[in-house]
Amino acid sequence: MENTLAPARLKQILDRMAKAAAAAGRDPAAIALVAVTKTFGETSILPVIAAGQRIFGENRVQEAKAKWPILKQRFPELELHLIGPLQSNKVMEAVALFDVIQTVGRPKIAAALAAGMRRTGRRPRLFVQVNTGGEATKAGVDPPNAKEFVRRCGEDFGLVIEGLMCIPPSGEDPAAHFTLLGRLAGDLGLKGLSMGMSGDFETAIACGATHVRIGSAIFGGRE
């Protein structure tokens, strides 16, 4: 059944993003909304495309492969972001499908991405995921190693890193994590900052987010 609520919720989120940008003295056009469609299908995605949304995010390569190739063919201007962990055996498929990969976090993956780009001729834009909470359950490079890892991505693998991404630990004040990520990006001279989800995107915008990743506040709760 068509997700008839999603377009109105999309508009509300865009309004809230604009207000948060204004409150922070920032240009709203400098903040991109990545609409996160994991677990949702065309009945949810098509109404949001019709409402003008063009940037989408998925956290699993396998799931994205099942729904996005056909949508990208129909709507060539769509931009698809991988926001979930990337295994080395999925790198080639990820390079072929995604326009932005936000979760680069290990040298092995960086090497595989470089090989995949050479092989396919595609060059998805890249973010490095930083595990700001140092959680064993989360992917990403630890904050003290971020600088060295970004340097290696460029020097050892010829990868251009556009920015940093983080997922703060649940139950902690996200502002501390967003501030840390912003400081790391500033130190590295990186412009992109992917941070903020349905529950905390206004805080992320106040802390300098250039990309917010929002799923449930647009599409509804997930099973």
| Interacting residue ranges for ligand PLP, rule: CB under 6 A | 36, 38, 59, 83-84, 167, 197-199, 213-217
Tokens of 64: 């994205």
Select 74 or 98, whichever has its Cβ closest to ligand PLP: 98
Alpha-carbon distance of 103 to 133, in angstroms, equals 15
- Nearest-CB residue to ligand PLP? 215
Give me the least distance between CB of 125 and ligand PLP, in Å please. Answer: 16
Select 73 or 137, whichever has its Cβ closest to ligand PLP: 137
Give me the least distance between CB of 58 and ligand PLP, in Å please. Answer: 9
Give me the least distance between CB of 118 and ligand PLP, in Å please. Answer: 27
Give me the least distance between CB of 197 and ligand PLP, in Å please. Answer: 4
Alpha-carbon distance of 74 to 72, in angstroms, equals 5
Select 11 or 118, whichever has its Cβ closest to ligand PLP: 11
Give me the least distance between CB of 121 and ligand PLP, in Å please. Answer: 28
Alpha-carbon distance of 31 to 34, in angstroms, equals 10
Alpha-carbon distance of 122 to 12, in angstroms, equals 35
Q: How many CB atoms lie within 10 A of CB 112?
A: 21
Q: How many CB atoms lie within 10 A of CB 52?
A: 10
Of the candidates 11, 14, 24, 5, the one whose C-alpha atom is nearest the C-alpha of residue 205 is 24
Select 59 or 206, whichever has its Cβ closest to ligand PLP: 59
Select 185 or 214, whichever has its Cβ closest to ligand PLP: 214
Q: Which one-letter DSSP state was computed for residue 160?
A: P
